[in-house]
Amino acid sequence: MSKPIPKEGIPRVPPEEKLRELATPYREAVGPAAVRRLEARCDGLGLRFAGDELVILAALDTPAKVQQFLSAELYYNDDHASVDQEETATPPRLVLRTGMAHCFEGAMFAYAVNHLHGHEPRLVMLEASQDADHNLVVCRDPATGLYGATAQSRYPGLVGRPAEYATTRALAETYVPLYYSDRTLDPKDLTLVGFSEPVDLVAKYSAGWIGSDEPLWDIYYTYIDDSVLFRYFFDDPGRPHLYPALRALKENWIRIDAAGEPFVSLGDLPAGAREAWDAFWKAYGPDDGPRPRGRAREIEQAFFRLTGTTPIDLDDNAFDLQFFLAAGYRIDQLIK
């Protein structure tokens, strides 16, 4: 769980002052030799960190220490708190100057630090239905061969895990019973459906982003493309699938109209799915509340078996695609 936010809100501190504040607990604990080793590692990657940046990065030399830093030192950056609030994709260097990170930003920070210390991190996305997805930075303990994770979350059960799991599936499965809907806030209303194969961000984007001062929108918008396969937790766990929004684009269930606006192309849905779509929206109403129940839920499950998504998720995916396009990205960056 991220650092508790005071009742009066997150204190606003000048960037360099925040960096000094975060470095203070580590200055005496980290020896100059450790700082020099990390600086040499950064130099070898073409990265330039200095001063208190190096002190903090050198101190966080294990995944467990990175998780402790995320949980104890960084506030959760709730950039979705209101529609008027600007979304962010803060790079690791600026996380050290804001003292805040949301799920993606915390994952990028954890990935960067673990990579600098040679822990060979990989990014794993937890796929949710009608809920926010979650990012894990997974590392394998070379001594035991077991997997653990670091993660940033406002919820205590969704942070990292120690390296004690034989597979990434076993690790990912520990999140399932704790991942309940942020629409209903019902602990029994679980929303995770799958997890991605591990993604090597440095192989995909090189290491330059680790030391960047610029927002990491390129990674945010494109790190999950059609080269990344997912696995379901339930119903034939060995069968891989694409992330639902990408499958919808690839199968033309989501198209772009002449005005450049994405829409759900009902005529392209597979056999039976169009009928299920129509039946769902007739059955789903105010009495269901924020999540489908009863007959609407049954139809939703039938639609999922045909498409790997739900009518609500498919509609949301089409809506959200407009922001991807408005940011200047292209469909061919996701579907190769």
CA dihedral (308, 130, 196, 162) positive or negative = negative
Q: Do 108 and 224 have their domain in common?
A: yes
Contact present, 232 and 127 (Cβ < 8 Å): no
Q: What is the pLDDT of residues 246-282, one digit of tens each?
A: 999 999 999 999 999 999 999 999 999 999 999 999 9
Say whether both 201 and 299 belong to one domain: no
pLDDT tens digits, residue range 125-178? 999 999 999 999 999 999 999 999 999 999 999 999 999 999 999 999 999 999
Q: Do 55 and 203 have their domain in common?
A: yes
Q: Quote the domain boundaries for residue 52.
A: 15-232
Phi-psi region of 132 (alpha: psi -120 to 50; beta: other; left: phi over 0): beta
- Cα angle: 206, vertex 54, 79; to 5 degrees: 65
- The model's pTM is 0.96
Measured distance CA(95)–CA(69) in Å, rounded: 12
Domain boundary among the residues 232, 264, 286 is at 232
Q: CB within 8 A of 316, min separation 6: which ones?
A: 130
Please tell me the distance from the alpha carbon of residue 262 to that of residue 109, in angstroms, as a whole number.
Answer: 32
Residues 59 and 188 in one domain: yes
| Helix and strand numbers, DSSP H then E, in the chain | 13, 11
Whether residue 9 lies inside any domain: the answer is: no
Per-residue pLDDT tens for 101-134? Answer: 999 999 999 999 999 999 999 999 999 999 999 9
CB 150 within 8 A of CB 137: yes
Same domain, 261 and 181: no
On whether both 42 and 127 belong to a single domain, the answer is yes
| Angle ∠(92,93,97) on CA atoms, nearest 5 | 110
Q: Are residues 67 and 29 in the same domain?
A: yes
